[in-house]
Amino acid sequence: MNAHRLAVSIRILIVALLAPLLGLAAAEPAMAQSEAASLASTSPTGASPLTAADLSTWLDGYMPYAIEAGDIAGAVVVVVKDGQVLLRRGYGYSDVSRRRPVDPANTLFRTGSISKAFTWISVMQQVERGKIDLDADINAYLDFTVTGLGGAPITMRHLMTHSAGFEEALGDLFSLRTDRIAPDLRSYLVKYLPRRVFAPGTVAAYSNYGTTLAGYIVQRVSGEPYEAYVERHIFQPLGMVHSSFRQPLPSRLRPLMSQGYRLGSGEPRPFEMITAVPAGAHTGSGDDMARLMIALLNDGASSRGRILQPATVRQIYGTPHSLLPAPVDRMLLGLYEENLNGHHVVGHGGDTFLFHSEMMIFPDDGIGLFMAINSSGRDGYSNIQKALLGRFADRYLPGKVPDGNVDAAAAKVHARMMRGTYESSVRYGNFFSLMKLFSQASINVHDDGTISFPAFRNLAEAPKRWREISPFLWREVGGEDFLAAKVEDGEVAMFSASKWTGTMILPVPWWRSSGWLVPGLFLALGALSLTVLAWPIVAIRRRQQAVAAAGTVRQRKALFGVRLGAVAVLLVFGAFFVTMTMMLSDPLSISSDLDWWIWALHILSLIVFPTALLLAIRCAWLNFKEGAPAGMRIWSVILAASSFIMLWIAIAFKLIWFSVVY
């Protein structure tokens, strides 16, 4: 099997395993994120009026097929318009075996990262009260110290735009056990403080940790526990009686909770505990999300109460963090910006392992849409909430999509500049980064001057094609998404695309590039495996024919060492790979319960990889010095090179590492 194809298939495997998890942790470039691309969409000729009747019929067309084809048990859709609920509908089941339908008023869904919206609202409330300054060093509010890369200060604004520069923090993010939920945010934050890998403000790298830190700051400056704060200052003023951040749920809400499924045709899964509470622990009904959207559309107030001042709401919507130019979606103050058909959209998506949701409001049009599903669904057919949004906009809010042309020669030059190997800015703090080796991807340049990037896919999971419409801004061919690159000194510094808000795609430095490391890894694994496999075969053959082994005693001893080293390297590498795959496939297993095992692997790798290289070099040196046959000399050099590559990978991808914080 060719190495590249194997790498690709491993990548696909990992992508499949990871997609649900990283939803919460934002976008991973390798993940098959499908969007409302529009290969098959008809361009709307004119807007259909957004009425309850039209929307209801339209959703009757969309939803039953979408959830059934996606093997999704149940869904809720809520649309608000002009301060009123226009439509609220449940589809499918909140409990399949009991045939309990989804009730938009009373069925509770986990909203995942939409929880962050509550945290950012809380932060802005404290800004209004003068208790938080968006541009002050956050250490002013903390009782432990967090500094940015190179000692630069991190501000609340950095946390809100996911640009504090944190590495990804995955440890103990999900659990099924109440006692895993850190008793207080502080102990979680102190234990899992990730490394800082980018200078504050320079690169967006979606961070649950950063949001949790912000929630903790709210707790510190308000003097109220986070969960209680949100209840008092957001849920109560808006009358959101079916919402909670508490885990497990308060007993009055528990009977209303929807079951969560991987596949709607499968068994329900237990309630997910989310340790990073302010980043993802919210549970709520469709009706409650309508209340929130109505307030956000109405300058911060509903008919029952106010949560933000009008100026603050405008500040949130109107402060984009422009690492890349619009119309590529940018981070606002905590919420995402989206540009759909020229309409300004503000919102957030949310994914737990089982629940997936999307909240989008059109502030200039007075329209809001929330949708949630209670199953991860079938691969390739489950991104229905994101797809719905684009189609909703096309039907009811059509408009002009920016377009343009770059002359063919320039487009070609720019496309060529984009060539290279890239990875997501969301970086792993431990050996999970080995996955990065397989998820790095390259920009493809096509004959017609268009480009594609494997991670940016359409609904049918085919890579989108992008055509340059102005220098370093590309538009999806036949679609409405954009891709933009930031170029510094003639080099691509980063790029991203619509709906990848909060995540940048960065060039990979040569020393960790899969371009040579993946072929290198497969060659090395091949050479080491051959050595190990040949060992018993040669030995048996010798015994059968009573032939003595070739070479001097020293050479034979050295060869023995090399073989032993090869066995050890393969075992340790294999153990890492299996551990990574298993942990990432089940985020519940990413917990400190496994720290002992990971420590053991790290200690072993510290011994095994360097020792194997030393043994291989010694063997090669002896072979040359003592004039072994040419075949043996060449093979021993190959083995030394293989061991070198393995050590390189072990260092570059944190198999040799001194921490279990990740």
Partner 1 sequence: MKQTSVFSKIATFWSGVLLLFGQHGLAQSQPAPSTPGSAPTLDRADVETWLDGYLPYALESADIAGAIVVVVKDGKILLRKGYGYADVAKREPMDPGRTLIRPGSISKLFTWTAVMQLAEQGRIDLDADINTYLDFKIPGRSDGPITMRHLMTHTPGFEQPLRNMFTQPGLPPPLDVYLKSNIPQRIFPAGKVPAYSNYGTALAGHIVALVSGLSFDTYVERHIFGPLGMRNATFRQPLPARFEPHMAQGYDRASGKSLPYELAAPAPAGSMAVTADDLARFMIAHLQKGAFGPNRILRPETADMMHRTPYPVLPGLQRMLLGFYETNRNGHRIIAHGGDTPAFHSDMRLYIDDNVGFLISMNSSGRDYMHYFMRGNLAEQFADRYFPALTPRDGRVDAKTAAAHAKMMAGRYDPSRTSWSSFLSVSALMGSVVVEAHDDGTIGTSELQKLNGQPKRWREIAPFVWRNVDGKDLLSANVKDGKVVMFSSDELSPAVVFLPLPSWRARPDLWFYAIAASLLVLLATAILWPVRSFLRWRTATALPGPVRTARHLTGMAALGASATLIGWLWLLSNLGSAEVPLTAKTDPILWTLQIAGALFFGGGLLIALWNGWRTWAGGGGRAARIWTIVLALAFLVLFVTALAFHLLDFSTAY
Q: Give the footprint of partner 1 on this chain (CB under 8 A).
A: 34, 37-42, 48, 54, 56-71, 89-93, 99, 101-102, 263-265, 378, 380-381, 384, 387-388, 391, 395, 458-462, 478, 545
Which is nearer to partner 1, 125 or 458 (by Cβ)? 458
CB-side neighbour CA atoms (13 Å) of 372: 36
Which is nearer to partner 1, 51 or 178 (by Cβ)? 51
Residue 79 CB, shortest distance to partner 1, in Å, is 13
Crossing angle between the packed helical segments 595-625 and 630-652, to the nearest 10 degrees: 150
- Angle value at C-alpha 242, between 239 and 244, nearest 5 degrees: 100
Residue 444 CB, shortest distance to partner 1, in Å, is 14
State whether the Cα torsion 391-397-398-404 is positive or negative.
Answer: negative
* Sole residue written with tokens 């990979």: 508
* Sole residue written with tokens 């063997």: 619
Residue 70 CB, shortest distance to partner 1, in Å, is 7
Structural tokens at position 340:
């759909």
Residue 184 CB, shortest distance to partner 1, in Å, is 42
Residue 318 CB, shortest distance to partner 1, in Å, is 33
Which is nearer to partner 1, 188 or 456 (by Cβ)? 456
CA distance linking residue 124 with residue 332, whole number of Å: 13
Which is nearer to partner 1, 99 or 400 (by Cβ)? 99
Residue 6 CB, shortest distance to partner 1, in Å, is 14
Residue 43 CB, shortest distance to partner 1, in Å, is 8
Structural tokens at position 636:
């021993």
State whether the Cα torsion 155-159-165-168 is positive or negative.
Answer: positive
Which is nearer to partner 1, 459 or 601 (by Cβ)? 459
Residue 101 CB, shortest distance to partner 1, in Å, is 4
Structural tokens at position 461:
């999971």
Which is nearer to partner 1, 108 or 333 (by Cβ)? 108
Q: What's the Rg (C-alpha) of the chain?
A: 27
Which is nearer to partner 1, 57 or 322 (by Cβ)? 57
Residue 421 CB, shortest distance to partner 1, in Å, is 24
Which is nearer to partner 1, 81 or 282 (by Cβ)? 81
Residue 615, classed as helix, strand or coil, is helix
Which is nearer to partner 1, 60 or 595 (by Cβ)? 60
What's the DSSP call for residue 246? -
Residue 444, classed as helix, strand or coil, is strand
Which is nearer to partner 1, 396 or 609 (by Cβ)? 396
Which is nearer to partner 1, 209 or 453 (by Cβ)? 453
Contact 518, 11 (CB under 8 A): no
Residue 54 CB, shortest distance to partner 1, in Å, is 6
Which is nearer to partner 1, 40 or 630 (by Cβ)? 40
Residue 479 CB, shortest distance to partner 1, in Å, is 10
Which is nearer to partner 1, 319 or 382 (by Cβ)? 382
Residue 291 CB, shortest distance to partner 1, in Å, is 22
Which is nearer to partner 1, 54 or 128 (by Cβ)? 54
CA distance linking residue 317 with residue 333, whole number of Å: 7
Residue 290 CB, shortest distance to partner 1, in Å, is 17
Which is nearer to partner 1, 96 or 279 (by Cβ)? 96
By C-alpha distance, which of 70, 71, 269, 285 is closest to 174?
A: 269
Residue 60 CB, shortest distance to partner 1, in Å, is 6
H-assigned helices in 70-182? 115-128, 156-160
Contact 313, 140 (CB under 8 A): no
Which is nearer to partner 1, 423 or 476 (by Cβ)? 476
Residue 232 CB, shortest distance to partner 1, in Å, is 35
Residue 372, classed as helix, strand or coil, is strand
Ramachandran region, residue 420 (left: φ > 0; alpha: ψ -120 to 50; beta: rest): left
Contact 474, 482 (CB under 8 A): yes
Residue 364: CB atoms within 10 A of its CB come to 12
Q: How far is Cα of residue 310 from the mean position of the Cα atoms in its chain?
A: 33
Contact 335, 123 (CB under 8 A): no
Residue 408 CB, shortest distance to partner 1, in Å, is 18
CA distance linking residue 251 with residue 546, whole number of Å: 77
Burial code of 561-595, b = ≥16 C-beta within 10 A, e = fewer? bbbbbbbbbbebbebbbebbbebbeebbebbeebe
Which is nearer to partner 1, 378 or 556 (by Cβ)? 378
> Strand ranges (DSSP E) for 333-476?
336-340, 343-351, 356-362, 367-373, 421-424, 441-442, 444-445, 451-452, 456-458, 466-470, 473-476
Crossing angle between the packed helical segments 630-652 and 514-545, to the nearest 10 degrees: 140
- Angle value at C-alpha 133, between 130 and 139, nearest 5 degrees: 120
φ/ψ of residue 123, rounded to 5: -60, -45
Q: How far is Cα of residue 622 from the mean position of the Cα atoms in its chain?
A: 49
Residue 44 CB, shortest distance to partner 1, in Å, is 9
H-assigned helices in 318-464? 384-396, 408-418, 433-439
